Amino acid sequence: MGLDIKIPIGLMFCILGAILTIHGIITNGNVEMYEQSLGHNLNLWSGLAMLVFGGFMLLTSSLVKKKKKE
């Protein structure tokens, strides 16, 4: 239907993933903040997972496939 859904999904998770990863790196070692998540830096881990997923979506989307054909 015109738009490949993988592109918006990939973009959104890459952007959100990047934000959370950066936030996670900045706040890494902040014992007080991560006390509630039992000491785990959830922002960093979730951010990285989202970057991987978003990247996978973009790489398999029609955006990349088209370029390969050219």
Partner 1 sequence: MQTSFSLATLDWIVILIYFIFVLGIGWALKKHMKDATAFLEAGRSLPAWVTGLAFISANLGALEVIGMAASGAKYGMMTVHFYWIGAIPAMIFLAIFMMPFYYGSKARSVPEYLKLRFDEKTRGFNAFAFAIMTVFASGISMYALALLAQVIIPLEIDWNFLGIHIGEFDFYLFVSAIIVLVYMVLGGLTSAIYNEVLQFFLIVIGFAPLVIIALTDIGGWEGIKANLPENMMHSWKFAGNADANPMGVEWFGILVGLGFVLSFGYWCTNFLVVQRAMAAGSMSAARKTPLIGAIPKMFLPILVIVPGIIALALTNTGALELPLKEGTMTTDFDKVIPVLLMKYMPVGVLGLGLTALMASFMSGMAGNVSAFNTVFTYDIYQSYINPKKTDKHYLKVGQWTTVVGVLVSILTAYVARSFNNVMDFLQLIFAFVNAPLFAAFLLGMFWKRTTGHAAFWGLISGTISAAFHHGLTLPYGGIAGVKGGYFGVIHTYPSEMAQNFWTAIYAFTAALVITLVITLLTKKLKTDEELKGLVYSLTPKIQDDSKYLYQKPGFLAIIVGAVALALSIIFW
Q: Which residues of this protein are in contact with partner 1, per CB under 8 A?
A: 1-3, 5, 8-9, 11-13, 15-16, 19-20, 23-24, 27, 33-34, 36-38, 40, 42-43, 45-47, 49-50, 53
How far apart are CB 45 and partner 1 at their closest, in Å? 7
How far apart are CB 67 and partner 1 at their closest, in Å? 19
How far apart are CB 59 and partner 1 at their closest, in Å? 16
Torsion region of 45: left, alpha or beta (phi above 0 gives left; psi -120 to 50 gives alpha): alpha
Chain centroid offset of residue 43 CA:
11
What are the Cα distances from residue 12, in Å, to 8, 30, 55? 6, 27, 10
